[in-house]
Amino acid sequence: MSSILLLTSSPRSDSLSTKIATELADKIKAQNPGKTIVHRNLAAAPLPHIDELFTAAIRTPVEARTPEQAEAVKVSDALVDELLAADTLVIGTGLINFNIYSSLKAWIDNVARAGRTFTYTETGPKGLATGKKAYIVLASGGVYSEGPAAPLNHAVPYLKSVLAFIGITDVETVYVEGLAFGPEAAEKAIGAAQARATELALAA
């Protein structure tokens, strides 16, 4: 059975990136009843940041790893398996300091694994997590999808680059932006994002 991997990363209980991303995952599932949703809340259950033991372990053949090294990659192996089992990714994040939450970056560091989600060839790196569709939901106080602040939006270009590197090139973005411009602007932004999510779900 195919799955939708829902990744939320905001530490805020009233997070709009989490709200819209969850709604989008639910809408995609409604259009595809055979799918299941696997929700990983990266803020509620933070992942370990990679350390020296981990980086040594992933460079060591499985059969040659020490018990400590084997233990160090257990979480990463499970995350990679979870990613490879999904055919759809829905990623929710706020824009913080012009990029993604560190909780989401920790997930990326755990799943970007040579030999598992990408490999090196004579013609350069090749992604192995292919055949998937991804959706990015980005919430921000300002407007970063276009206009003068757009160059400061490092979150979406970064996520698209990482996803492409591991083989996921079919990516759509839902912006929930301008939330700091007052209640009326926020309400309009939420409505636009929900409409965009519905549009994308119907096409899924």
Residues in a beta bridge with 125: 120
Query: For 3-203, which CATH class?
Result: alpha beta
Domain spans of the chain, in order of start: 3-203
Residues contacting 95, CB < 8 A, separation 6+: 138, 139, 140, 141, 144, 153, 155
Q: What is the pLDDT along the chain (204 residues), one digit of tens a residue?
A: 589 999 999 999 999 999 999 999 999 999 999 999 999 999 999 999 999 999 999 999 999 999 999 999 999 999 999 999 999 999 999 999 999 999 999 999 999 999 999 999 999 999 999 999 999 999 999 999 999 999 999 999 999 999 999 999 999 999 999 999 999 999 999 999 999 999 999 998
Which of 83, 171, 167, 168 has its CA nearest to residue 127?
A: 167
- Known binding-site residues equal 10, 15-17
| pTM for the structure as a whole | 0.95
Model pLDDT, residue 10: 97
pLDDT (0 to 100) of residue 65: 96
Q: What is the pLDDT of residue 1?
A: 53
At residue 92, φ and ψ (nearest 5 deg) are -110, 130
Residue (of 70, 199, 93) closest to 139 by Cα position: 93
Q: Report the binding-site residues for FMN.
A: 10, 15-17
pLDDT of residue 125: 94
